[in-house]
Amino acid sequence: MILGRVALGAALAWGTYAWGAHLLTPACVWRGGRAQRRVALTFDDGPDPTWTPRVLDLLRARGVRGSFFVVGARAARAPEVVRRMAGEGHEVASHGWSHRSLWLCGPRRTAEEVGRSHELLTALTGCAPRHFRPPWGMVNAALFLALRRHGQRCVFWSVQPEGRRPAPAEAQARRVLARAHPGAIVDLHDAEGTPRAPERLLAALPVMLDGLRAAGYDLVTVAELLA
């Protein structure tokens, strides 16, 4: 009986720490202001040494800047790609150190996930990242203390054309163009979380870029969108 109560109490405490922390997410950023027709394209899970440079090539050819939420451990293995992002005017933001779900991280591990990525990206780009996106959008109570310590804001998204289930390139482009709105933050993936995600992104991205511009949207970074 006592052990059962202890287990129940521990489960409730962990549930409050992990899932209950989502009660704090209304204070996070989900979209920008509606006054101007501006959209921010964001790219998660990279840098991928093969696919991310191809995404950068495509953005450069069309004169578009985006925000890359990079995984610290992957950035450490491809530092030249991160430096290229910054050098071409893209925003380099944090997606944590290991892409581990924060639901599975205690306070110490959470602080490490935020802090290690923050330090590396600052060293690589010469500029401290201002924004953080939790892997899979999962937060815990310790995250908000860690972000405050490093001066970062938690950024989610208002348009996501592909989640955990793969979506064909045509469907992704169609969803972005149909759901775009002033202040939209679009969540895309330039590395493989979902199988072959960057391959589908490269096929969809030109249609997205051309379609958004044809609809009168300016394509900006998250930092510009929220300025």
Q: Give the active site residues.
A: 44, 189
Cα–Cα distance between 173 and 16 in angstroms, integer? Answer: 37
Residue 17, C-beta contacts closer than 8 angstroms, at least 6 positions apart: 140, 141, 142
Pair type for strands 184-189 and 131-132: unpaired
The dihedral formed by the CA atoms of 145, 150, 156 and 160, expressed in degrees to the nearest 10: -140
Three-state SS string over 92-122 comes to: EEECCCCCCCHHHCCHHHHHHHHHHHHHHHH
CA atoms within 13 A on the CB side of 169: 13
Cα–Cα distance between 96 and 117 in angstroms, integer? Answer: 6
Q: Which of 120, 113, 192, 203 is nearest to 154 (CA)?
A: 113
Q: Which of 93, 89, 61 is nearest to 190 (CA)?
A: 93
